[in-house]
Amino acid sequence: MFTGIVEELGSVVSREGPRLRIGATTVLDDVVLGASIAVNGCCLTVVAWGEGWWEADVSAETDARTCLGALAPGDPVNLERPVRLEDRLGGHLVQGHVDGVGEIVHAAPDLEVKVPAALMRYVVEKGSITVDGVSLTVVRPGLDTFTVALIPHTAEVTTLGRKGVGDPVNIEVDVMAKYAERLLAGHLGQGGIAPEPDDRAS
């Protein structure tokens, strides 16, 4: 579990088959084999590391559902270690499980992102959303886009200040919204309306 507060801006060193090597320093402070590190919002498992770098194997499923497959050597990436129980929750609860790939239609600071239509039901005004691993607050949801306002600090210390129109970004919607939908699915009819009570005797 993560918070969407980026700890470090790393960079892609190399990509050989499924093996991705990332240059980093901060996130290696307490690294162990099998540790989790979020890369642009996607939770990956550490399989090797050395001075100033670490590696993860990126599965075909991850490549298909995220934009990690588009990364090239030299590309910056947002990095975050999992939250600890004693840490402050500065962002929101982020799983590191990407729901879909969005596309930037307007660059920072007034960032606008187009997302798959199926995800828009989870996007609400003033709600939380994760873009490339960054916890953000939705300013205005549209039909298939949403806007967020990036403060200069966030633009400077994450990839979002470097992204341009047409660039892909990983999107994770608020997991609490997905759980609420699942729990209410049996109690709500079509269009989110509660069904009429059944007065028949059992």
pTM of the model: 0.87
- pLDDT bin (cut points 50, 70, 90) of residue 191 is low
8 Å CB contact between 94 and 130: yes
Closest C-alpha among 139, 123, 107, 124 to residue 171: 123
% of residues, the chain, pLDDT over 70: 92
In the chain, beta strands by DSSP E: 8-16, 19-23, 36-39, 42-45, 48-50, 53-57, 76-80, 100-106, 110-114, 128-131, 134-141, 145-149, 168-173
Closest C-alpha among 12, 1, 27, 118 to residue 58: 12
In this prediction, residues 143-159 reach a mean pLDDT of 95
Taken in order of first residue, the domains within the chain and their CATH numbers are 8-80 (2.40.30.20), 100-184 (2.40.30.20)
CA 147 to chain centre: 15
* Predicted pLDDT of residue 189: 61
* Predicted pLDDT of residue 93: 81
More confident position, 48 or 175:
48
In 17-131, beta strands by DSSP E: 19-23, 36-39, 42-45, 48-50, 53-57, 76-80, 100-106, 110-114, 128-131
* Predicted pLDDT of residue 201: 41
Tell me: the pLDDT tens digits for 28-60? 999 999 999 999 999 999 999 999 999 999 999
Tell me: the pLDDT tens digits for 82-118? 987 777 777 788 889 999 999 999 999 999 999 999 9
Question: Average model confidence (pLDDT) for the chain?
Answer: 90
DSSP 8-state code for residue 126: T
Kindly report the backbone phi and psi dihedral angles of residue 168, in degrees, each rounded to the nearest multiple of 5, phi listed first: -80, 150
* Predicted pLDDT of residue 113: 98
Q: Alpha-carbon distance 43 to 40, whole Å?
A: 9
